[in-house]
Chains A and B, each alone.
Chain A
Amino acid sequence: MKTLRSFPGNRIIWHAIIVGVVWLLLLLLNNNIDPLYSSYLALVAMYATAMFGMTILVGLSGQVSLGNGALMAVGGYVFALTSMNWQTVPFFGWEWNAIWSMVFAGLGGVLIGGIIGGLAARLKGPYLAGLTLGVAVGVPAITNRFPELLGGENGLMLTVPYPAGGYAALDAGGEVATDEGGDAAVDIETDAGATGEDQQYAELDLSEFDQGTDPLAEEDLLTEDDLLTEDDLLTEDDLLTEDDLLTEDDLLTEDDFGAGGDLGIDENVVDPTEDPGVDGAGLDGTDIAGGGFIDGFDSEFIIERWQASMAIAVACIVAFAALNLVRGRQGRVWKAVRDDPVAAAVVGISPSGSKVSAFVVSSLFAALAGAVFAQILSFIGPGAFGLGLSLSLLVGIVLGGRASLLGAIIGALLLVWLPELVDGLSGERGWPEQITNNAPNLLYGLLVVAVVLLAPGGITGTFKSWIDKAKGRGRATLS
């Protein structure tokens, strides 16, 4: 029995079973909740994907990096750039072409992560944090450096590749989106008018701050840029005009409105749905009822559910890889180097090799999460992927539990749920916008400090120590 247990293949099978069951449960959940909650689920899965990498990098390998937001940007941009050209290439016979772009995004993350990791392996503590901080702050600068390729400050809109079969878009709140887009466009122009470098940074960083941690704000930015790119897409939208199928879609969405009564009231609905390019993609698929890709809901392919199922798939695959790494030999290697690099070197582990491998793995996860994020937003731009996002990842991992994969999931839940909680409270109490917008970050900052001081293991670490204590007490009374 003991030999069976220590056989690694056995452990991998167990991990596969655990992840598979969780995946199934999540899909069931996704198919039976309101599409609004599916969009939250998508965000949680996306954050969790990135934060599994943070668990390995910060928790196991002990390297505090703020570069993972930037690596998500790498993934997102590679996805955006490749998805345009690989739109029609099936992935080994499968019609869902996004997989190609996801693969490229992952490779891009590994490449850039390897470069930064190579630098990082020579650095300790604050030096690494400072260097990666520079990377995070430099993202807007880099995208502005290549305006044709990366779209500059405005980023890139992307036509998200959907699997064959199409879907019925839940086209809620489109008007609101365009209205906001109008205001935002004005803002952006005034930015461009402002001259000093610091001024531009101020503006960029501002938006970034809101978006990094508050999913709603992120999606507001989406709508800003929708307006800009809608213009571009107008030519493609000629495709739309020929399709009278749109009216059928409209009927479906009205049904959805009726079902989720709060959808119409809740402003949040604005976010993840509106995207003109998406409609085009859906209509290409022609058969609306063909949501056979995932069964369990009313033969409609609702975009939030699709996004959530895609994000969950990536998160589960990444979780499986992370589980095997963390609980296998490599996890012990990372911890050994973190706790005592000299002792690790003595037993034949290369400390720098271990640090680079942690960096590369976390970069891969970050890039995949970035590709998922780009698909959720159908947009990629420097504002949503700057320092704010990197700091959110750090906050999430610290609150959830630095060295625990479960902690990463809890952290991801917190990142999505806390702003919603604050938003709800503010709606009830009628707080001014200034308070509501900043309350989540104030809480995050204070919580991070409190956790580091009082419960360095985060939520999972604290629970674990409670359980250990209880077990210890039990044993003591027995003996």
Chain B
Amino acid sequence: MTNFVDYLLGGFSNGAVIALMALAIVLVWRSTRMVNFAQVGQAMFTTYVALTIQQSTGSWILALVVAMAAGLVLGIVVFFLVIRPVKNSDSTGAIIATFGVLIALQAGAGMIWGGDPQGFLTPVDNSGIEFAGRIWPISLYDVLVLVVTAALVIGLTLLFTKTNLGLSMRAAAFNPEVARLSGVRVNRMLITGWAIAGATGAVGGVLIAPVSTISPNSFDILLVFAFTAAVIGGLDSLIGAVTFGIGTGLVISLVSGYSDSGNAPIVALILLALNLLLKPDGVFGHHGARSV
């Protein structure tokens, strides 16, 4: 039982990062009805930027802020250069184009920063907290990850429910034609969606980097987990992405604890396949979300 609790607790911070990546995928889906398979590649790239900042200034906060800004910019650039020209004309092409972006980003990162995995320093202690006479599988850093994630999720929720911008974005996502007629600048909303998604993914990348290492391909597996979480959550539900992101983190932690961490992708794959077969619209999704 102690093991079970430990494994469960150990999965939370990983789950938070998966939730952030899933959120990014959902944000893009909500704005343009497509999956950005380069999302995690963008996060990888901005994490390298953050690494460079951290190495030169030593400031983790600054690195995080710069990564978010870079994510914002990268999201906008990818949207403008790649997605906007193709998204309406060629849905197969749009999927392929995001993979093209992923390949280019990974190769570009390899060119600039090399292929060797690099470590990312944590701003606070990353060893288990000692409390009530035992060491818990949660570190101060895990707490920081959870706090940052929670802050971001709350911020996004407020944005979507309490601000005009959020309302316009929801309108543009829900029905672009009607939104346009009501004076919403739909295109601007789509860009905003991509930009926010880029920044969210960037935060996820910076948060996961110290726990794993960073290399051009190290986030591939995260893409699978995030996609799984986003799809099970319904692809257009922010709550769903967060819930099942953390859920996926917990499941992975349990699988890794009881068997072997190498089995995690297989379990994620089984979850994804089962979900797509049994409840293709996801748990929190609206019916019809699946039809492109």
Spell out A's residues near B (CB within 8 Å): 58, 62, 64, 66, 119, 122-127, 129-131, 133-135, 137-138, 140-142, 144-145, 196-203, 205-206, 208-210, 387, 391, 394-395, 398, 402, 434-435, 437-442, 444-449, 452-453, 456
| B224 and A448 contacting across the interface, CB-CB below 8 Å | no
CB closest residue in chain B, given A195: B261
Name A441's contact: one of B96, B103, B260, B290 (CB within 8 Å): B103
| B272 and A199 contacting across the interface, CB-CB below 8 Å | no
> How many angstroms from the CA of A332 to the CA of B228 in the assembled complex?
34
User: Does chain A have a CB within 8 A of B182?
Assistant: no
| A449 and B290 contacting across the interface, CB-CB below 8 Å | no
Find chain A residues with CB under 8 A from B35 CB: 126, 129-130
> How many angstroms from the CA of A440 to the CA of B218 in the assembled complex?
19
Chain A to chain B: the 4 pairs with minimum beta-carbon distance, closest first: A445-B104, A198-B212, A448-B100, A205-B217
| B256 and A197 contacting across the interface, CB-CB below 8 Å | yes
User: Does chain A have a CB within 8 A of B37?
Assistant: yes
> How many angstroms from the CA of A143 to the CA of B227 in the assembled complex?
22
Find chain B residues with CB under 8 A from A134 CB: 224, 227-228, 265, 268-269, 272
Find chain A residues with CB under 8 A from B34 CB: 126
CB closest residue in chain B, given A447: B100
Name A449's contact: one of B95, B100, B264, B265 (CB within 8 Å): B100
User: Does chain A have a CB within 8 A of B93?
Assistant: yes
Find chain B residues with CB under 8 A from A124 CB: 290-292
**Between-chain CB contacts (< 8 Å), 21 pairs:** A119-B277, A127-B276, A129-B95, A130-B35, A130-B272, A133-B223, A141-B262, A141-B264, A141-B265, A145-B266, A197-B264, A198-B212, A202-B117, A208-B217, A209-B106, A439-B107, A442-B104, A445-B108, A448-B100, A449-B104, A456-B93
Find chain B residues with CB under 8 A from A140 CB: 262
Name B103's contact: one of A141, A445, A456 (CB within 8 Å): A445
Find chain B residues with CB under 8 A from A130 CB: 35, 37, 224, 227, 231, 272
The answer to whether residues A62 and B92 also contact, given A130-B227, A137-B265, A448-B99 and a CB cut-off of 8 A, is yes
| B100 and A445 contacting across the interface, CB-CB below 8 Å | yes
> How many angstroms from the CA of A126 to the CA of B276 in the assembled complex?
12
Find chain B residues with CB under 8 A from A141 CB: 262-266
| A129 and B37 contacting across the interface, CB-CB below 8 Å | yes
Find chain B residues with CB under 8 A from A442 CB: 103-104, 107-108, 111
User: Does chain A have a CB within 8 A of B85?
Assistant: yes
| B103 and A125 contacting across the interface, CB-CB below 8 Å | no
> How many angstroms from the CA of A119 to the CA of B100 in the assembled complex?
25
User: Does chain A have a CB within 8 A of B114?
Assistant: yes
CB closest residue in chain B, given A338: B92
User: Chain A CB within 10 Å — which of B100, B104, B261, B266 has the most?
Assistant: B100
> How many angstroms from the CA of A119 to the CA of B275 in the assembled complex?
11
| A119 and B92 contacting across the interface, CB-CB below 8 Å | no
The answer to whether residues A58 and B263 also contact, given A205-B218, A441-B106 and a CB cut-off of 8 A, is no
| Least CB distance, A196 to chain B, in whole angstroms | 6
| Least CB distance, A225 to chain B, in whole angstroms | 19
| A122 and B111 contacting across the interface, CB-CB below 8 Å | no
CB closest residue in chain B, given A62: B92
Find chain A residues with CB under 8 A from B97 CB: 448-449, 452-453
> How many angstroms from the CA of A441 to the CA of B217 in the assembled complex?
13
CB closest residue in chain B, given A133: B224
User: Does chain A have a CB within 8 A of B150?
Assistant: no
User: Does chain A have a CB within 8 A of B211?
Assistant: yes
Spell out B's residues near A (CB within 8 Å): 34-35, 37, 81-82, 85-86, 90-97, 99-108, 110-111, 114-115, 117, 208, 211-218, 220-221, 223-224, 227-228, 231, 256, 260-266, 268-269, 272-273, 276-277, 280, 290-292
| Least CB distance, A341 to chain B, in whole angstroms | 11
The answer to whether residues A438 and B85 also contact, given A64-B92, A202-B213, A452-B100 and a CB cut-off of 8 A, is no
User: Chain B CB within 10 Å — which of A202, A394, A442, A456 has the most?
Assistant: A202
| A144 and B262 contacting across the interface, CB-CB below 8 Å | yes
| B107 and A122 contacting across the interface, CB-CB below 8 Å | no
| Least CB distance, A349 to chain B, in whole angstroms | 19
| B93 and A452 contacting across the interface, CB-CB below 8 Å | yes
> How many angstroms from the CA of A199 to the CA of B217 in the assembled complex?
10
CB closest residue in chain A, given B102: A445
CB closest residue in chain B, given A448: B100
| A125 and B276 contacting across the interface, CB-CB below 8 Å | no
The answer to whether residues A199 and B216 also contact, given A125-B292, A142-B266 and a CB cut-off of 8 A, is no
> How many angstroms from the CA of A294 to the CA of B58 in the assembled complex?
66
Find chain A residues with CB under 8 A from B216 CB: 206, 209
> How many angstroms from the CA of A442 to the CA of B108 in the assembled complex?
6
| A437 and B110 contacting across the interface, CB-CB below 8 Å | yes
Find chain A residues with CB under 8 A from B264 CB: 141, 197
CB closest residue in chain B, given A444: B103
| Least CB distance, A446 to chain B, in whole angstroms | 5
Name A199's contact: one of B104, B213, B276 (CB within 8 Å): B213
Name A125's contact: one of B92, B101, B272 (CB within 8 Å): B92
| B280 and A122 contacting across the interface, CB-CB below 8 Å | yes
Find chain B residues with CB under 8 A from A439 CB: 107, 111
Name B261's contact: one of A119, A197, A434 (CB within 8 Å): A197
| B100 and A446 contacting across the interface, CB-CB below 8 Å | yes
| Least CB distance, A182 to chain B, in whole angstroms | 19
| Least CB distance, A26 to chain B, in whole angstroms | 30
CB closest residue in chain B, given A387: B220
| A137 and B224 contacting across the interface, CB-CB below 8 Å | yes
> How many angstroms from the CA of A122 to the CA of B263 in the assembled complex?
26
| B90 and A133 contacting across the interface, CB-CB below 8 Å | no
CB closest residue in chain A, given B228: A134
Find chain A residues with CB under 8 A from B107 CB: 438-442, 444-445
CB closest residue in chain A, given B280: A122
User: Chain B CB within 10 Å — which of A140, A144, A205 has the most?
Assistant: A205
| Least CB distance, B252 to chain A, in whole angstroms | 8
Find chain A residues with CB under 8 A from B99 CB: 66, 129, 391, 394, 448
Name B114's contact: one of A142, A145, A434, A440 (CB within 8 Å): A434
Find chain A residues with CB under 8 A from B221 CB: 137, 197-198, 201, 205
The answer to whether residues A205 and B220 also contact, given A119-B277, A141-B266 and a CB cut-off of 8 A, is yes
Find chain A residues with CB under 8 A from B266 CB: 138, 141-142, 145
Known: A130-B37, A449-B101. 19 other contacts (CB 8 A): A64-B96, A125-B91, A129-B95, A129-B99, A130-B227, A134-B265, A144-B262, A198-B213, A199-B218, A200-B261, A200-B262, A202-B215, A205-B221, A206-B115, A398-B96, A438-B110, A445-B103, A453-B97, A456-B90
| Least CB distance, B67 to chain A, in whole angstroms | 18
| Least CB distance, B71 to chain A, in whole angstroms | 19
